A and B are shown apart, each in its own frame.
Chain A
Amino acid sequence: MTEAVLHSRALYIKQQRKFFRTFCVLLVLLLMTIVLGIFLGPASGFIDSIERAFNQEPSLIKELVLNIRLPRVLLGLLAGGGLALAGAALQILFNNPLADSGLIGISSGAMLGVITGTFLLKLIPFFQSFFESYPLFFLPSLAFLGALFLGFLVYRISLSHGRIQIAIMLLAGVAVNAFAGAYSGLLITLLNDEQLRSITFWSMGSLNGATWPIISLLSLLVLGASSYLYSFHKELDALALGEREALYLGVDTDKVKKTVLILSAVICGPLTAFVGVIGFVGLVVPHILRLFLGPKSSSLLICSFLLGGVFLVLSDIVAKNVVAPSELPIGIITSIVGTPFFTYLLLKQKRRLS
């Protein structure tokens, strides 16, 4: 064996070990976060909650834990995990550290769908009766359609001679986002005061809407799409080398691009409908992990899901407790906590490089 092969093998083993260690740490963190999320709420103290939950009395706190807090924690895991995983995949796909579901129009597409839905509810009685009968599916399916529509618009624009131009794709994302912003703004001026308030706060993000039916629907969509997305990790690795290189390795790059795009819409669209627009998680969680783990897709995708979930649930614990009985928009917490940490990591990286 040549020295180079030996060296790359050693590097591979080192990375695998690093991944395993990170994975274990994240798993422990995940369990701790779940416990914390369940027993820490505005309604009562931590110890008090545990005591009452384990005493078999049918108390209010039991109802809180089972039907209010647990779904909320699970929604946080699904949302944080899904957004971070989709972000990681898109960053690899576009070979661009700025890519996330927001940049290529998926998030604003979902927002477009929800705002259009809210507007239609007010305007057309048919939609209202539809909403009354299927409250769980109306806005999420519109959000998904919006996400898919704008995602595909970006995809189509960037398609030239049967190939996708990444640079054009990013610019098309910018254009589509601007359009979505204008369209949403237009519809918002037509909404009444009550709808306006709910849209404004919805767009800032909250996990307060969590119920078991929502969790079951979302876990089906998010976990399903995420595992399917994970199955593309080898193709993504090849794509990370560059498009030409991936083609030489026998990867059907356009199929991969298309599938990853659709799957990201499947993950982010309905999520956005239920929890609102939560920035930062999809962008920064994969970055933080890449600094630790290196660029290998399979470990990056798995760990992104875990860390995204942990990060969002922790943020939610802060959001619902600091100003109790009110709550802060969760996006504020993710940004306030995440940005300094991310900047610290960047600075550390810079010093190491220089």
Chain B
Amino acid sequence: MRHPKLLFITFFIFCSHYTFAQNRIVSIGGTLTEIVFELGLGEKIVGIDATSVYPEEKVKNIKNLGYRQSISMEGIVSLNPDIVLASTKLTPQPLIDSLKKLKVNLVVVKEEDTFESAKEKIKVVANKLNRAEKGKMLISKLEKELSVAKEKASNKEIKKKLVFIYARGGNRIFLSGSETAADKMIQLAGAKNAFDQVKGFKPITTEALIESNPDAVVMLKSGKDSLKNPWSSIKGIEHTTAGKNKNMILVDDLSFLGFGPRSASELIEFSKKIHNL
């Protein structure tokens, strides 16, 4: 033992990287939180954002940092995290910048509304948390489900027209236009978004909704819960095919819109429901 000091330092660095590392995870983004749980590291999460709603029973007991703009840098730092996973969709850029300045171990995960991005997210998170093997398993499971989903997707000549109603109230109806997660899922299921001529989430006039005459309404389960009778709260829907036949497809928030580990199986379910219209 000629260099006990050196050995000690090496040992310390070793320890800090592998033994003590990543015992305290902060996850900003519902899909990222979900992936961490799928990797079996859920109990190490010490902080989440408001979009982290799955697995429901478990995330309830984790400290919630808020939603987007209301997430504070100090709130994150006070949790003393070893690693912060930040979704590009849900973390404001100023927050990312200030976390970088503080030399917090920050992993910015790019989120897009594609299944390619879903795989990439799993890969990045799994690698950063030293669970590469488990990550590969999750990805191959996702790929298998995705190929099933592709078979199930409706490939009829005349596509079913769907509207994804994001929010109601205040006398307004918000719909998902093109370039939204819901629009992607509708296309992947082999159907048509009745309002793909508008971009993003837009309020739609009652008149336009009636004229578009959708075959079914797609809504989030959580959104539907907020009112007992969703049909009466969507003005004008009774004059459309969807309203006449009471065709409503309910989807899960995070797996339908999040492009995460459960999204492929959600897509299979969704396609089945479109078939049954």
Contact = CB atoms under 8 A, between A and B. Distances in A.
B92 interface: no
Q: Which of B174, B203, B212 has the most CB of A within 10 A?
A: B203
A43 B166 contact: no
B63 interface: no
B207 A199 contact: no
Interface in A42-62: 42-44, 60
Contacts of A60: 210-211, 239
A69 interface: yes
Given A193-B67, A326-B202, A208 B171 contact: yes
Contacts, number: 100
Contact of B207 (A64, A189, A197): A64
A320 B236 CA distance: 16
A183 interface: no
Given A202-B171, A202-B172, A325-B208, A194 B223 contact: yes
B203 A206 contact: yes
Interface in A37-87: 41-44, 60, 63-64, 68-69
B2 interface: no
Nearest to B208: A325
B229 interface: yes
A16 interface: no
Interface in B204-229: 204-212, 222-223, 226-229
B168 interface: yes
Interface string A109-134: 00000000010001000000000100
Given A63-B239, A208-B206, A325-B195, A274 B228 contact: no
Given A60-B239, A64-B210, A68-B236, A197 B205 contact: no
Nearest to B67: A193
A275 B207 CA distance: 17
B207 A194 contact: no
Given A60-B239, A68-B210, A198 B172 contact: yes
Contacts of B210: 43, 60, 63-64, 68
A320 B172 CA distance: 13
Contacts of B203: 201, 206, 208, 326-327
Q: Which of A201, A208, A325, A327 has the most CB of B within 10 A?
A: A325
Interface string A194-225: 11011101100010110100000000000000
B107 interface: no
B79 to A, nearest CB: 21
A60 B212 CA distance: 12
Interface in A289-311: none
Interface residues of B, number: 36
A69 B211 CA distance: 13
Interface string B181-195: 000000000000001
B158 to A, nearest CB: 20
A201 B235 CA distance: 16
Nearest to B220: A194
A68 B206 contact: yes
A324 interface: yes
B197 interface: yes
A202 B207 contact: no
Given A60-B211, A197-B167, A198-B168, A325 B197 contact: yes
A102 interface: no
A195 B67 CA distance: 14
A337 to B, nearest CB: 19
Contacts of A202: 169-172
A43 B235 contact: no
Contacts of B202: 326
A9 B169 CA distance: 55
Contact of B70 (A41, A43, A189, A326): A189
A293 to B, nearest CB: 34
Nearest to A64: B207
Given A60-B239, A189-B70, A194-B226, A209 B207 contact: no
A276 interface: yes
A326 B198 contact: yes
Nearest to A61: B211
B205 A325 contact: yes
Nearest to A75: B171
A325 B212 contact: yes
Nearest to B167: A194
Contacts of A275: 171
Interface string B57-83: 000000000010010000000000000
B170 A320 contact: no
Nearest to B223: A194
Given A194-B166, A198-B167, A201-B170, A326 B223 contact: no
B210 to A, nearest CB: 7
Interface of B: 50, 67, 70, 166-174, 195, 197-198, 201-212, 222-223, 226-229, 235-236, 239
10 contacts: A41-B205, A118-B169, A194-B166, A197-B166, A198-B167, A198-B170, A202-B170, A208-B205, A320-B207, A327-B205
Interface of A: 41-44, 60, 63-64, 68-69, 118, 122, 132, 189, 193-195, 197-199, 201-202, 206, 208-209, 211, 274-276, 320, 324-327
8 closest cross-chain pairs (CB), A and B: A209-B171, A202-B170, A325-B208, A198-B169, A198-B170, A326-B202, A194-B167, A43-B211
Given A118-B169, A198-B172, A201-B172, 8 more contacts: A44-B211, A68-B206, A194-B169, A201-B170, A208-B203, A208-B206, A274-B171, A325-B205
